[in-house]
């Protein structure tokens, strides 16, 4: 296992669409392990493969926030098949947009079909933080970021700030 560098805004990689996974082998298990380690190290509660530069439909999630009892879950080729009418607002952040938080409204409960690491079909009914986290991470697979839900003005401010930061960091050689 190894910790991978996380791709940051405004890197255009974050806007790429991820392709479905078809092969369930040791490489995939290794990718899941690397993603899990990277997520815990950050620390975060969810990570999509595209956030470490791999455009494949895989997520790791652990909303337990329990240091002693970690329960990472891997979601491959996830698809939202049902949304509740009821909405929920959470303050969201993103490992690719560090230290920026904003409230986003999303369906309060969802049903997601996905494959596990062995390629077996699974279904999860999620609500609360898990529902928000899964929607946020599944958005990443479509090149969508949580700042896309904010006003144009707010979004442009965030992108400008991170573009400036990226330039500053690039100058440090
Ligand atoms: Zn994110």
Model confidence at 1, pLDDT cuts 50, 70, 90, reads confident
Q: pLDDT of 46-96, one tens digit each?
A: 999 999 999 999 999 999 988 888 999 999 999 999 999 999 999 999 999
CA distance 73 to 30: 14
Chain segment 94-139, per-residue pLDDT in tens: 999 999 999 999 999 999 999 999 999 999 999 999 999 999 999 9
Distance 93 CA to ligand 1 centre (A): 7
Question: Which residues contact residue 143 at a Cβ distance below 8 angstroms, ignoring those fewer than 6 apart?
Answer: 14, 15, 16, 17, 50
Distance 137 CA to ligand 1 centre (A): 6
Per-residue pLDDT averaged across 150-168, rounded? 95
Catalytic status, residue 137: yes
CA of 136 to the centre of ligand 1 (A): 6
Tokens of 136: 């946020």
Q: Mean of the pLDDT values across residues 22-39? A: 97
* Ligand 1 midpoint to CA 48 (Å): 7
């Amino acid at each position: 296992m190894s910790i991978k560098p996380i791709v940051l805004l405004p890197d255009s990689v974050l806007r790429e669409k991820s392709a479905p996974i078809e092969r369930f082998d040791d490489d995939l298990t290794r990718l899941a392990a690397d993603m899990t380690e990277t997520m815990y190290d950050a620390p975060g509660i969810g990570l999509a493969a595209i956030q470490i530069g791999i455009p494949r439909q895989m997520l790791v999630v652990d909303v337990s926030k329990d240091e002693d009892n970690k329960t990472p879950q891997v979601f491959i080729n996830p698809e939202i098949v049902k949304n509740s009418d009821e909405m929920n607002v959470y303050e969201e952040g993103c490992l690719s947009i560090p230290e920026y938080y904003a409230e986003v409204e999303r369906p309060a409960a969802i049903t997601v079909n996905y494959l596990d690491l062995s390629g077996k079909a699974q279904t999860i009914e999620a609500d609360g933080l898990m529902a928000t986290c899964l929607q946020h991470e599944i958005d990443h697979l479509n090149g969508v970021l949580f700042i896309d839900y904010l006003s144009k003005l707010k979004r442009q401010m965030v992108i400008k700030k991170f573009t400036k930061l990226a330039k500053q960091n690039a100058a440090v050689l």
